Amino acid sequence: MGTLHTVNKSPFQNQTLLSCLAHAKAGDAVLMIEDGVYGGTTGTAVSDALSKTDSDVSLYVLGADLAARGIDAGRVAEGVTSVDYEGFVDLAATHDRVQNWL
């Protein structure tokens, strides 16, 4: 079922998250990890891009990376789900391929 996309860079540093969102298709999942988790927070310059993403694309952040950066779970943007490492593995296992956006 679709592709799991991972993004590991801050969207305030480069365009990778935006490019990923522009190439994600219905049934895909986008998981923000490492510095990528900054893209999953609320009220940012990329919030618009997140909210305009096809609702059939699921958006996730890795909770461990949020916690490491002192980002409270309450700051995760609407429509974005926080997952733990097991959730990461489940996403990898339930999609046809993984595309890491470097």
Partner 1 sequence: MSEVKKFLYVNRKAPYGTIYAQESLEVVLIGAAFDQDVSLAFLDDGVFQLTKGQDTKEIGLKNFSATYRALGDYEVTKLYVEKESLEERGLSLDDLQNIEYEDEDDDYAEKPSIRLVSRAEMAEVMADQDVVLSF
The residues of the shown chain that bind partner 1, judged by CB under 8 A, are 2-3, 15-16, 19, 22-25, 28, 97-102
Least Å distance, CB 97 to partner 1, is 6
For 40, the token pair is 């999953």
Judged by beta carbon, residue 7 or residue 76, the one nearer partner 1 is 7
Judged by beta carbon, residue 90 or residue 96, the one nearer partner 1 is 96
Rounded-to-integer distance, Cα 8 and Cα 74, Å: 21
Burial of 6-21, coded b for 16+ CB within 10 Å and e otherwise, reads bbbbbbeeeebbeebb
Least Å distance, CB 70 to partner 1, is 29
Judged by beta carbon, residue 23 or residue 69, the one nearer partner 1 is 23
* DSSP conformation class of 24: -
One-letter amino acid for residue 31 of the chain: L
